[in-house]
């Protein structure tokens, strides 16, 4: 526990002045996520995650559960699929409930000097119901591509291994015709991770989300995020 407390204290001290300088017209959120992993075999595993994501000013909060399965076809290629259930409560907008199945694949390449690059592409079918303040239903088919980077473990402060990780993710609603599709959201995350034990690891990430309403518009930051992720592997 002392190791976890020291890691979080150092990471939060670094993150606090950055999060505190919020941009005009952007909102600040905390994302608290717990990821669980259970290996059925060398190829199949369960990867469920569960989270709570409140806005810092208290106007909005969401909770979700997201069971998923991964099939490791080769050391560098795997298939991924699951379903997300998300409930959002808002003080100044309609409350919503979302069901989101998705399908995707990941390519892990290249690996250079202990640094691992990954490419992740998936498509989700988003079904959103208003549960208070309205009765609308919305269906969207959305694609997302994530470029990730993870460092090797470094024995800095912690002998169990500390690492750095980050990613850039682009989102697009798949329109008809496809020529009307454009990237309408970008998401950036970066921060340190700590291998607490064989079963536990923690990441504390700083994130930005940027959006635009049309292909010709510029991106603007609408959300700043402090994300705390706990990973637990059962076996």
Q: Structural domain tally of the chain?
A: 1
For residue 17, what pLDDT is reported? 56
Going through 91-199 in order, the beta strands assigned E by DSSP cover 95-112, 115-132, 137-150, 162-173, 185-195
Residue indicated by tokens 């994530």: 146
SS3 of residue 17 by DSSP: helix
Give, in order, the Cα–Cα distances in Å from 4 to each of 112, 169, 189, 202.
29, 28, 21, 8
Confidence of residue 16 (pLDDT cuts 50, 70, 90): low
Quote the pTM value: 0.90
**pLDDT over threshold 70, residue 67:** yes
- 71-111 residue pLDDT tens: 999 999 999 999 999 999 998 888 999 999 999 999 999 99
In this predicted model, what pLDDT tens digit does every residue of 20-36 receive, in sequence order? 555 555 788 999 999 99
CA distances from 80 to 27, 88, 227 (A): 31, 25, 22
Give residue 172's domain range.
2-233
Percent of the chain whose pLDDT exceeds 70:
88
The 10s digit of each residue's pLDDT in 179-193 is: 888 899 999 999 999
Q: Does an H or E element contain 65, and which?
A: strand 60-66
Cβ neighbours for 80, distance < 8 A, ≥ 6 positions apart: 47, 68, 69, 70, 71, 103, 104, 105, 106, 120, 122
Residue 125 sits in a domain whose CATH number is: 2.40.160
């Amino acid at each position: 526990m002392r190791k976890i407390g020291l890691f979080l204290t150092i990471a939060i001290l670094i993150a606090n002045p950055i999060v505190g300088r919020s941009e005009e017209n952007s909102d600040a959120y905390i994302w608290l996520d717990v990821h669980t992993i259970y290996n059925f075999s060398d190829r199949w595993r369960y990867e469920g995650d569960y989270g709570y994501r409140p806005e810092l000013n208290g106007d909005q909060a969401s909770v979700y559960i997201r069971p998923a399965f991964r099939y490791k076809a080769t050391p560098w290629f795997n298939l991924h699929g699951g379903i997300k259930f998300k409930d959002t409560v808002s003080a100044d907008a309609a409350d919503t409930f979302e069901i989101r199945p998705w399908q995707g694949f990941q390519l892990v390449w290249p690996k250079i000097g202990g640094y691992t690059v990954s490419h992740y592409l998936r498509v989700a079918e988003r079904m959103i119901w208003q549960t208070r303040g309205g009765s609308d239903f919305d269906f969207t088919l959305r694609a997302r591509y994530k470029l990730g980077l993870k460092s090797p473990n470094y024995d800095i402060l912690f002998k169990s291994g500390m690492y750095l990780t980050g990613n850039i993710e682009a989102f697009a609603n798949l329109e008809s015709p496809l020529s009307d599709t454009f990237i309408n959201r970008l998401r950036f995350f970066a921060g340190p991770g700590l291998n607490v034990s064989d079963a536990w690891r923690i990441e504390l990430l700083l994130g930005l989300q940027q959006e635009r309403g049309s292909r010709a518009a510029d991106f603007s930051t609408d959300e700043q995020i402090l994300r705390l992720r706990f990973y637990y592997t059962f076996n």
